[in-house]
Amino acid sequence: KRFVAPRSHLPQPFDHVGLQNPSHDRVRTRERAATAAIAVTATMASSRGPSMAWLIAASVVAACSGLQPGGSTELVRYFAYGSNMASKTLEGVRQVYPRDCTPALFRDHRLAFDVPGLPPFEPSFANVKPCAGFDCHGVLYTVTREEWRTIQRTEGVGSPFGGYRVVEGTFLTYPPGLGRDRRAITADDPDTAEVEGYTLKYSPPPLGLAIELPSSRRYLGLLRAGAREKGLCERAVRRLDEQRPFL
């Protein structure tokens, strides 16, 4: 019988699961929300090549409105399926150091590349969409509430021009000790555990369309690296490897 984590009011302290991350003891500078948003997104912009002014503007707006409230000591479960699976992005760019992490999947959802970027350099970014019978594989992190707010700011949550929004969900963690040693892990596996948490979904602007486009080689490389780094199952890694880049 599958273990079901007790359903309670989120956010709350969680037991440590999965891979332990010793870097959580690092001292992190706490800056004001708007300043942090500009600094981090500017770093993202320089790493992505062309101007990302729209993302910086959205992050500044999000820093001042639309974010979930809460203290900095509470812990939150966050499911990442895009470039945040890679430590290079989550820690190196966003300066977020999770307490722990474990491979997981989002039942009846699929990975889609319909978040608009700036073609031809960055045509699209990752999104998760409802799709019966599919599983979206990713990484379930445990982060502080302050770090969760940082993730939201740097992802542009709260922008009135469309973008990511926070959604609550039930995620299935991989069976203990399993990962790339299994060819495939699905929601039907009886040893998975249900955990309540949050993720981000893209909402297009009013009258806007969500069109799926191939992502850049650089962006897909981050997803592939993160999937291997965090031990996603072989089938999930293979699906990412089979994605053809735009350039």
Annotated binding site for substrate: 78-83, 219
For 134, how many CA atoms within 13 A lie in the half-sphere containing its CB?
13
Give the H or E element holding residue 207. none
In the chain, the amino acid numbered 107 is R
DSSP 3-state assignment of 196? strand
Rounded to an integer, what distance in angstroms lies between the CA atom of residue 42 and that of residue 48?
10
Give the H or E element holding residue 203. strand 193-203
Is 74 assigned a catalytic role? Answer: no
Rounded to an integer, what distance in angstroms lies between the CA atom of residue 46 and that of residue 38?
12
Rounded to an integer, what distance in angstroms lies between the CA atom of residue 12 and that of residue 77?
9
What single-letter DSSP state applies at residue 45? H
Extended beta strands in 14-162, E state? 19-20, 75-80, 100-118, 122-144
Which listed residue (74, 91, 122, 155) is catalytic? 155
Four-CA torsion 140, 143, 147, 150, nearest 10 degrees: 10
Q: Which residues contact 32 (CB under 8 A, 6 or more apart)?
A: none
Cross-strand partners of 80: 139
Return the active site residues. Answer: 155
